[in-house]
Amino acid sequence: MLEIDWKNGRPIATSTRTGVGYITSQGPPSIPILKLPPDGATNQPNALTCRWDRSLRATGYWFQLAADALFAVNIVDDSTLTDTVRRVTALSDSTTYYWRVRARAGAAASSPWSTVWKLTTVPPGAHPYPVHGTWNMLSLPVHPANPGRRAIFPTSITDAFTYIGGYQKRDSLEPGRGYWIKFPIDQTVYLSGPLIQRDTIDVTTGWNLIGSLGTPVAAASIASIPPGLTTSPFFGFNGFGYTLGDSLRPANGYWVHAHSDGKLILSPSGAIPPENRIQIVSTAEAPPDPPSAGLQRDYRSPSSFLLEPVYPNPFNPTATIRYQLPVNSKVSLIVYDLRGQVMEVLRDSFEQAGYKSVEWNAVRFASGVYLCRLDAASLQDPRNSVIQVRKMVLVR
């Protein structure tokens, strides 16, 4: 007697009953479904990994990559794969490649070839930027030929969300704005175009998600219209939580709280007169949550105690000292000289969890090396505590 197993209206196996049991004949493996890089991806690195979904009944895979859609001359022709990834290296700049995969089940049975996808590698001089395999706060460090989110970040898996009183979805990206964008895995993205050297960014009272330039900008060097605009510190995102930023890094986005409407002027450090620069003050208010409820943590508070590097360093005569408290804490922040003598007590108080900063004005002290020491302990569990020290140099 002949028996047939069916799935989705198609036979997947037949068995013939005999006097001693069943003889089973499985069908061929299913056609692989390509995954990454996405079809039509541009600005791809010269070394990358192609990925596809696992096929039913497959024991191996055959991968081909060519410079033509007919695969007349294969650059890679590998039929020995057992996993669903293939690393490809030494690709040429500004070149379109085509790739496909077929599944194998032993020497005789194979699936048809998958659909053919194409990718284009980066042009010469493209700039690399790392992104996390989660949500990222990003911005444009270059003037791209195509400002579309899919063209700039083809491997991203969400829309781009900017913030104007609330989150708003954007299909195209603008210089000066920050955006939340999610990626499936840690990777490096390559962006092409002239670097943004200077920008003037509108800010409104409250929280603003802003962009950066093509080169780093020290937060303390940012100017404003009107001059002396008061803002919070700048908050970046490291894939796990918010971090205080002493400088704005290319391709990153940053939260900043403005005390009034105005404009921020970003330019290479040192190009702005001191009297035109913003006034950065600590805030007890945390930046808004990321746009996805699917994130697994509350990013509004730091994840651990941390005494940030002093900025600027060396300094004359004032330095900004920032620190992070994950819980409500008893805090002591003291400046010592190298002999261990107390120069000034900056903090000796109970403080709420959050991102903190204090300015030390050393106008009364001589040039030299000083030590800033943070002692902090949780009010609920004193065993949760930290002692951290940072060196700073006063130069007259």
The confidence score (pLDDT) of residue 353 equals 84
Q: Give residue 330's Cα distance to chain centre.
A: 33
The confidence score (pLDDT) of residue 24 equals 46
Put residue 258 in one of left, alpha, beta given phi > 0 → left and psi -120 to 50 → alpha.
beta
Using alpha carbons, select from 57, 102, 99, 58 the residue that is nearest to residue 79. Answer: 102
269 band by pLDDT with thresholds 50, 70 and 90: low
Using DSSP, state whether 129 is helix, strand or coil: strand
Task: Provide CATH code, domain 306-394.
Answer: 2.60.40.1220
Using alpha carbons, select from 220, 215, 171, 176 the residue that is nearest to residue 197. Answer: 215
CA distance 344 to 294: 45
Burial of 7 from C-beta contacts in 10 A (0-12 / 13-18 / 19+): exposed
- Kindly tell me if the per-residue pLDDT of 270 is higher than 80: no
Higher pLDDT residue, 268 or 249? Answer: 249
CA distance 55 to 67: 26
Q: Where are the domains of the chain?
A: 34-121, 127-280, 306-394
Using DSSP, state whether 94 is helix, strand or coil: coil
Per the CB < 8 A criterion, the answer to whether 265 and 225 are in contact is yes
19 band by pLDDT with thresholds 50, 70 and 90: very low
Q: What is the mean pLDDT of the chain?
A: 87
CB neighbours of residue 255 within 10 Å: 22
Rg of the chain taking only CA atoms, in angstroms: 28
DSSP 8-state symbol, 164: S
DSSP 8-state symbol, 152: H
CATH architecture designation of domain 34-121: Sandwich (2.60)
Using alpha carbons, select from 148, 144, 140, 139 the residue that is nearest to residue 192. Answer: 144
DSSP 333-379: EEEEETTS-EEEEEEEEEE-SEEEEEEEE-TTS-SEEEEEEEEEEES
Q: Please state the rounded mean pLDDT for residues 121-136.
A: 89
**What percent of the chain shows pLDDT beyond 70?**
90
The confidence score (pLDDT) of residue 295 equals 42
Residue ranges of E strands in 250-367: 254-258, 262-266, 279-280, 306-307, 318-325, 329-337, 342-351, 354-361
- Kindly tell me if the per-residue pLDDT of 107 is higher than 80: no
Higher pLDDT residue, 226 or 294? Answer: 226
CA distance 393 to 396: 10
The confidence score (pLDDT) of residue 4 equals 44
Residues present in the chain in total: 396
Using alpha carbons, select from 236, 263, 119, 131 the residue that is nearest to residue 185. Answer: 131
CA distance 373 to 333: 6
